[in-house]
Structure 1
C-alpha cells in the first residue's frame, strides 16, 4: 500500500493571437460578439517526491524527486456568439476543449473550465463589433506532485506510545536477502529513493525484506537505521529487544 499525498499546481492562460478581418462587403453579425477560433494545449506533468521519516523542518534535508512523465494534449474548436451567450452550451464546449481528465483531477478540471470561460468571455466582450474571427490560445499546465511522506505513514500516537521511530536490529538487517531483477520486476522502483530498481554500482545489491518488498541495499539500510517498518506495507522488522524470527514465503 502506497501512502501518497496528491498535490496539484495549476495554471491557465488565454491569449488573443491575431485578428482575421472580414471582407469589406461582409454583412454584420446579428450579435456584437465575434466568432472565436480557439486552440488549446494541455500539459500534465507527474512528479514523485519522497520525504524521509527523519526529515526535520529546523534542519531540512534534501527531498527525493523524480519526474515520472509528461503528457501533452491539444484540441481545437470554433465558438459562435450564441454559444458564448448560453452558459450551458458554453460550458459544454469549453469542457470538450479541455478534454477528459482522470477522476483524481476532476476538481482541478472544473476549476480550469470555469477560469477558461471567464477569460474567453472577457476577450470576446472586449472585441464587440469585430466582424472577423478572433484566434485565441488556451494554455493549461497541471503539475501533479505525488508525495510519499514517511513521517505520517503511521499514527503519531502509535509511534509515541509503542515504539517511536525505533531502528531495526542490526542482526535482522544482516539477514535481508540479496535479490536479482528479472523480467517481471525490472520496471519496479525503489520506494526509498524512487529511482529504478537496478544496481547503482557493481558492488551494490538489491535486497528483499521478509515481506518480499525490494529496495536498493544502501537505501533500505539507511531507512532501517531510522525506522523498523517497511516503507511500503508497514511490515515490522525486529528491534534490538526482540529476537529475530525469519519468515519464509510459500
Structure 2
C-alpha cells in the first residue's frame, strides 16, 4: 500500500486527508475535528461519525456509524480496538479485506492522535464537565476491479502516480455549480448552488483544494479515471 497525506488547520477546525490503495481498491480518508485546542483533558469525549462511500455512488454511504463516543484517554490507549469495532461490518463487503480494514484503522488512529494530545494534569474534579469533540471520518473508496476491466495491468499500476504540475495548472478549470444536491467527490461535502467549483476535462467537478491535492497523488479523475499527463522520468 502507498500512503501519503496532507493536513490543514483553519481557526479551531483541524483536517487531515490520507490516500491509500491495495489490489481491490484505492481510497482516501478525510478526518475533520473542531475544538478550541488540540490539548485535551483525559475525560474529554471524542464523538466519532464514520461514513464510507463508493465513488460511483457518492450520495449513499455503504457504511455509517454516528455519534459514537469515547474518552480521549481511552482512545489513546485503545483506539485501534475501538475503530476496528466501528468498521467491523465492512468485512462483509467484497472490497474490504482484513488487511485493508486494518490499514484504514491504523491510519485513522494515527491521524487523530497526531491532531490531539492528552494532558494528564487537566482538571479532574467531580464538577468538571468534559467537552465533546466531534470527529468526522469520511472514507471514499474506488473499486479497482472496475478499472482493471478497462485497462491493462501496466496502466493499473500507474493509478497513484501524480500528474505533472503543468497538467494540473492547465486542466483544472474554474466553474460554477448550477444544481442543488451536488457534492465534491473527494471530500463528499456539498457544493452550494452558484458556488465556486473546479472541473477536469471530463467535466467532473470538485473543490479546488480537494482536486489539486488529489492530483498531486494520482493523475486520474477520482470518479471516471480520466488521465492527466505524468512525468516521463
Which category describes the TM-score, using the shorter chain as reference length?
0.3 to 0.5
Query: With structure 1 as the length reference, what TM-score do the two structures score?
Result: 0.38
Structure number with greater Rg is: 1
- Which of the pair has the greater relative contact order for Cα pairs under 8 Å at 6+ separation? 1
Query: With structure 2 as the length reference, what TM-score do the two structures score?
Result: 0.40
